[in-house]
Structure 1
Amino acid sequence: MKLNLIKEKGLFKSPILYVMLILIASHLATIFSGVFSVFYERMFFSVFPSNSYMSTLAELSGFIALTLSVIFLSRVIYKQPLHGLGFTKKSSLRDYLKGWLYGASILTICVIIMMIFGAVKINRVEFNARLALQFIPLIIAWSIQGNAEEVLTRGFILAGVSQRINILTGIVISSAFFSVMHLGNNGLDMLPLIDLFMFGIFASLVMIKSKNIWVVSGFHAAWNCFQGNVFAFPVSGTSVGNAFFHVTTHGPNWLSGGKFGVEGSMVSILVQLILIAWLYYDIFIKGKRKLTDKFDF
């Protein structure tokens, strides 16, 4: 199904101005989300106790403002339907669960590889009713956070730029924006920055292949959830509380990920390179599409 995402009038006639407007709108959405989160967390802690677990829930669930901001921009400013952001109805739950399965599996594979090379050691396994019950709200919270970042970077930026210019430009711009979103994170240096850009490419290809936002949103949520609350790694430089497996890292940061987490490791980059190569083959060689094509759902 082809979708006309672009209104050919006014400033929208110029590809460069159109891209600039998309990036400005995206930046404003992140600012609004940040401001909303401040007030949201105040209201949240006026009802719930303040501790590390509740702080994680509050921070992650506050990302709903980012999703709503992007939907507002798409519907009201750009006059586009929800499926223009990748919110397709067909097989949505199945695709989302599929994304969760892929994300959890690939993150676990990365951790196992890091263990084989001595970069990660599991010190303690903790599984009890309290942790299991706490994990359920975390699944929802990570789903909100992962979906928000994907709706902005892949649903709004990638889809919009790719339809207006071409797929290659959309991938590069959306991946760069995704990397820039993490510039203030703890432990960020060149290797994690490269990894974030690589993830942007991988996530873009997943969305292009699946033609919806669900698979990549599920993948993103599961990757973060398993990284932080199953294996106790920092998630993009942020500690997120209790986990089932308590791990310690050893050796150089380029192998262990250091303070940034698994996505600061060369292991993550190499795994993503393999996945990107497979997706590129499937979409552009086997599927006979071109990077210079325009995007359609």
Structure 2
Amino acid sequence: MARGRHEHGSPGGLHGRCPALSPRSPDQDRHRLRRRTAGDDPGSAALKPMPRLLPAGSEVLPILTRLAGFAGVFFALLVVFAALIGDGTASLAVEGTAIFVVALAATVIVLRLDGRRGLEVIGLPWSGFARQLGWGLVLGVAFVVPAVAIAMGVGGLRYGPDAGTWIEYGGTGLWAALVLLVAATGEEILVRGYPLRVLADRWGRGAALVLTSLVFAALHGANPHVGALALTNILLAGFLLGLICLKTGSLWLASGVHMGWNLATGFLADLPVSGLKIVDAPLIEVTRTGSPLVTGGEFGVEAGLAATVAMIIAILVVVRTGFLTPAQAI
């Protein structure tokens, strides 16, 4: 789920199975959280649902005006950032850093205009952030496993040895992890930070999930080798990440999942990530021998039916179980 370079059941069913999508008032949410966390260990770093970003019933600025303002600030800052770094430096690391810095700056500005100062309102508190990122990384890697396993099981992917040393492997992995962490967190702030919160407060969580997922897919629409199935899977990934944000209140956790998926795909599995070759992992060599309909072809596993199955499994795990609740200490 990496953005490309410039050149290049029913709603009722979800409401019934996932408390995060059920229509509740803010007072009910707070009362429910107090009941569930009353017995928590005081020393645990429990995830808490984010407070409302917009005052209940507030019509000071229509929601579209707020979102347009956020987009305007983001693109204005992006133009300034691009002018500062100049041409010829559009590497994935630079682009990911640009998205992160500009999205964060735009968020801080619009939050101040809304009378907010802390980033915890969009799910980025400093307390416990490393633990949440770490668990998200583990989950992201775990979500990739079914996709790669299915592709290997049908003979679509074959792995063998390649040149390199363990030192090179470790260094490449650390570099990939750093680049992908910055890029993933930037995309999460951009799509599921301020926009998700505003949409959820005004139009409800279901609408927020659908709209931000569509935007997330559209952001990948210009990636190399993209197709209809790839965009469908990225839309499902956006739904999964948004669901995680709304259920846990943690954008750190969603960023970790996003990074973990990309790291497992691009480094551990040595496959393209959303049409982009992130790194060439030493020691292992992959050969794509099966149908692109299953393996995703040049776009990577995200463009195959194997990823569709993996995404659906991940969404069902989050929706139909008590997994990742606000009261869960991690």
The TM-score with structure 2 as length reference comes to 0.73
What is aligned with 1:96? 133
- How many Å apart are 1:194 and its aligned residue? 0.5
Q: Does 1:78 align with 2:114?
A: yes
- How many Å apart are 1:92 and its aligned residue? 2.0
- How many Å apart are 1:263 and its aligned residue? 0.9
Judge which range, 79-88 or 56-65, deviates more.
Answer: 56-65
1:68 maps to a residue whose letter is: L
For residue 63 of structure 1, the aligned residue among 69, 75, 99 is 99
Alignment of structure 1 residues 128-207 onto 2, 5 Å: 128-207=166-245
**CA 1:25–1:207 in 2, change beyond 3 Å: closer, same or farther?**
same
2:71 maps to a residue whose letter is: S
**CA 1:167–1:30 in 2, change beyond 3 Å: closer, same or farther?**
same
- How many Å apart are 1:230 and its aligned residue? 2.6
Q: Distance in 1 between matches of 2:212 and 2:106?
A: 14
Q: Does 1:241 align with 2:279?
A: yes
Q: Is the 8 A contact 2:230 2:302 kept in 1?
A: yes
More helix by share: 1
Q: Distance in 2 between matches of 1:227 and 1:183?
A: 19
Deviations 1:96-135 (A, max 9, x none): 1000011122223321221111111113344431332233
Deviations 1:152-190 (A, max 9, x none): 211222221001110111001110110111111111111
Q: Distance in 1 between matches of 2:115 and 2:178?
A: 29
In structure 2, stretches of 5+ residues that fail to align are: 1-29, 31-49, 326-330
For residue 25 of structure 1, the aligned residue among 49, 70, 78 is 70
What is aligned with 2:81? 36
For residue 108 of structure 1, the aligned residue among 145, 168, 180 is 145
1:122 maps to a residue whose letter is: Y
2:314 maps to a residue whose letter is: L
The TM-score with structure 1 as length reference comes to 0.81
Q: Distance in 2 between matches of 1:37 and 1:249?
A: 37
**CA 1:209–1:31 in 2, change beyond 3 Å: closer, same or farther?**
same
Q: Distance in 2 between matches of 1:255 and 1:56?
A: 27
For residue 228 of structure 1, the aligned residue among 252, 260, 266 is 266
Q: Distance in 2 between matches of 1:119 and 1:20?
A: 47
**CA 1:24–1:264 in 2, change beyond 3 Å: closer, same or farther?**
farther
2:101 maps to a residue whose letter is: A
Report the secondary structure of 1:123's partner residue: strand
**CA 1:257–1:34 in 2, change beyond 3 Å: closer, same or farther?**
farther
Judge which range, 153-162 or 196-205, deviates more.
Answer: 153-162
Q: Distance in 2 between matches of 1:224 and 1:130?
A: 19
- How many Å apart are 1:84 and its aligned residue? 1.5
Q: Is the 8 A contact 2:143 2:314 kept in 1?
A: no
Report the secondary structure of 1:65's partner residue: helix
What is aligned with 1:10? 60
Q: Is the 8 A contact 1:41 1:58 kept in 2?
A: no
Q: Distance in 2 between matches of 1:265 and 1:23?
A: 34
Q: Distance in 1 between matches of 2:99 and 2:260?
A: 16
Q: Distance in 2 between matches of 1:262 and 1:242?
A: 16
- Greater relative contact order structure (CA < 8 Å, 6+ sep): 2
Q: Does 1:267 align with 2:306?
A: yes
Identity fraction in percent = 21
**CA 1:11–1:75 in 2, change beyond 3 Å: closer, same or farther?**
closer
Q: Is the 8 A contact 1:191 1:264 kept in 2?
A: yes
Q: Is the 8 A contact 1:57 1:138 kept in 2?
A: no
Judge which range, 107-116 or 95-104, deviates more.
Answer: 107-116
**CA 1:113–1:34 in 2, change beyond 3 Å: closer, same or farther?**
farther
For these two proteins, the number of residue pairs brought into alignment is 271
In structure 1, stretches of 5+ residues that fail to align are: 13-17, 46-53, 288-297
- How many Å apart are 1:38 and its aligned residue? 6.4
Q: Is the 8 A contact 1:155 1:213 kept in 2?
A: yes
- How many Å apart are 1:32 and its aligned residue? 3.9
